[in-house]
Amino acid sequence: MTLFMIGIGLNNERDISLKGLDAINKSSYVFLENYTSKMNCRVEKLEKLYGKKINPADRDLVEKNSDEILNKALDKNVSFLVAGDVFSATTHVDLFLRAREKGINIRIIHNSSILTAVGIVGLELYKFGKTASLPFFEKSFIPETPYTVIFENKKRGLHTLVLLDIKKDKERFMSVNKGLIQLLELEKKLGKKIILSDSKIIGCARLGSERKVIKYGKVKDLLEFDFGKPLHCIIVPGKLHFMEEKMLEIWK
């Protein structure tokens, strides 16, 4: 039978496509990947509109025990739901390949992703460089990669999307403020002068929802700003075209 891998969009139960809904209707089992992103609504809302029970799929289930999902798809239709788009940011290529190895028919149903939704701020998507992921720092774990990625992009005049960590088991979602504090910490350590308190950056929250917040300003000012509920991300602009500057003025 078929494994439907379905992006369900960025906001709430109503962001799913009609194709996605049709696939769920045909499915005997529905799983929701619940560790790399988050919808702005409760699972019950999804269950009500989709008309099916939704089984949460944590990292262990998807990455270590994926047979529990895939074996069901050998003789039944199974829907695997992902917030945003299926292959964006966290790729789920692993699950796709394992399903293929088992000879399972796979259908992909796309949706919007944070990788494209950031277009709303007015920066040219073609001018984004490598995406950075910023994890919560721990005493023995302060990775420099996110800072290096921003530096390398900036050198080429490219913008950087910084995705912020999610610790789903602890319901911890990194805020723009926390992200900036950590980037300033890396600035202090590595000193390339890319994230200074006067540097202008963009903080975003809940893109795709009616309650989205986009704020363009100096790091020192955004540090004081309350972006509200998750999810948040940061954009560090590279070289700006005057049209991009004009758009950013809107979010000051």
Contact 209, 11 (CB under 8 A): yes
Residues 178 and 163: their CA atoms lie apart, in Å, by: 12
Q: How far is the CB of 88 from ligand SAM (least distance, A)?
A: 3
Q: How far is the CB of 62 from ligand SAM (least distance, A)?
A: 13
Would you tell me which residues interact with ligand SAM (CB under 6 A)? 10, 36-37, 82-85, 88-90, 113-114, 163-164, 166, 204-208, 231-233
Residue with the shortest CB distance to ligand SAM:
84
- Order of all β-strands in the sheet with 160-164: 132-134, 160-164, 232-236, 200-205, 213-218
Structure tokens of 30? 């529905």
5 CB-near residues (< 8 Å, 6+ apart)? 80, 82, 86, 92, 95, 96, 106, 107, 108, 109
Q: How far is the CB of 178 from ligand SAM (least distance, A)?
A: 11
User: CB-wise, 198 or 210, nearer to ligand SAM?
Assistant: 210
Rounded to the nearest 10°, the torsion over CA 43, 44, 50, 52 is 100
User: CB-wise, 34 or 88, nearer to ligand SAM?
Assistant: 88
177 CB-near residues (< 8 Å, 6+ apart)? 222, 223, 225, 227
Q: How far is the CB of 191 from ligand SAM (least distance, A)?
A: 26
Q: How far is the CB of 114 from ligand SAM (least distance, A)?
A: 4
Q: Which of 202, 194, 201 is nearest to 150 (CA)?
A: 194
User: CB-wise, 35 or 151, nearer to ligand SAM?
Assistant: 35
User: CB-wise, 62 or 204, nearer to ligand SAM?
Assistant: 204
**Residue in the block written with tokens 């390949």:** 97
User: CB-wise, 10 or 123, nearer to ligand SAM?
Assistant: 10
Quick count: other Cβ atoms within 10 Å of Cβ 147?
22
Contact 80, 4 (CB under 8 A): yes
User: CB-wise, 95 or 207, nearer to ligand SAM?
Assistant: 207
Q: How far is the CB of 242 from ligand SAM (least distance, A)?
A: 26
